[in-house]
Amino acid sequence: MKRLSGLRLQVEDPKMLAGFYADVLGMEARSEGEAWRAGYAGGDADLILLPGGSRAPHSRDERYWKIGICLPDLDIACEHLRQKGVEVSAPHQFRDIGYMAHLHDPEGFAIELLQHDFLGNRPDGAGDPALPLGGGAHVGQITLRTGDIAAELALRADMKLLSVQDVAEFGFDLHFLGFTTETPPDADLQSLANREWLWRRPYTTLEFQHIPGAQLRDSPAFIGLEIS
């Protein structure tokens, strides 16, 4: 079966950025010629950091948005980052979607940390303070923006739609697709029952933030996805 195995980004300093993902976020990093690959062990996607980019502000009208790192204990993860001197937002339960926090890497790329369980649902002993980010982290989502979700779903007909999450108060909805034969717990893809299940999947999903009718520009750094 196919899998979403990588996100290609053109960056200013691939070696330095790969070091950040290894030293701070607990990924494994290795060089591939002038590029660097950073990722967790397992079937989730790696970051493929290519040379030739420039450091520039990222805006909300770009197609590429962020990666999401899913993990067992968000509070341990945030404390780990603070001890490393990394600025990270306070953990919070965002609506009925997830318990999350946000940060940026040294070149300004957005990272979302997302706990497997909603606030108040985390089992005791879910994370290990001795491990980077509390252990058990994986790249759960690669997030792109779109103004036309029907067109995206047609182009990704080889992927299964796993969850649809309405965030109407902020003017968008979220669609999660994966290369998988798994079936979500609830046949209603908008069901809350599917969300914590989704954050535990060991593979990376492709998330679309759908802003109906939005006119988006190409992200200079986003080169594409690796599917293997």
Residue 19 lies inside a defined structural domain of this protein: no
Residue 124 lies inside a defined structural domain of this protein: yes
Total domain count, the chain: 1
What domain range is 88 assigned to? Answer: 57-218
pLDDT tens profile 194-207: 999 999 999 999 99
Residue 21 lies inside a defined structural domain of this protein: no
The fraction of the chain above a pLDDT of 90, given in percent, is: 97
Residue 106 lies inside a defined structural domain of this protein: yes
Residue 137 lies inside a defined structural domain of this protein: yes
Q: What's the confidence (pLDDT) of residue 225?
A: 98
In which band, very low, low, confident or very high, does the pLDDT at 23 lie, cut at 50, 70 and 90?
Answer: very high
Residue type at position 8: R
pLDDT tens profile 77-122: 999 999 999 999 999 999 999 999 999 999 999 999 999 999 999 9
Residue 92 lies inside a defined structural domain of this protein: yes
Residue 178 lies inside a defined structural domain of this protein: yes
Given a contact cutoff of 8 angstroms between Cβ atoms, the answer to whether 9 and 53 are in contact is yes
Q: What is the pTM of this model?
A: 0.97
Q: What is the CATH number of the domain that holds 76?
A: 3.10.180.10
CA–CA gap between residue 178 and residue 198 (Å, rounded)? 10
CA–CA gap between residue 175 and residue 163 (Å, rounded)? 6
Residue 25 lies inside a defined structural domain of this protein: no
Closest C-alpha to 136, from 74, 67, 196, 226: 74
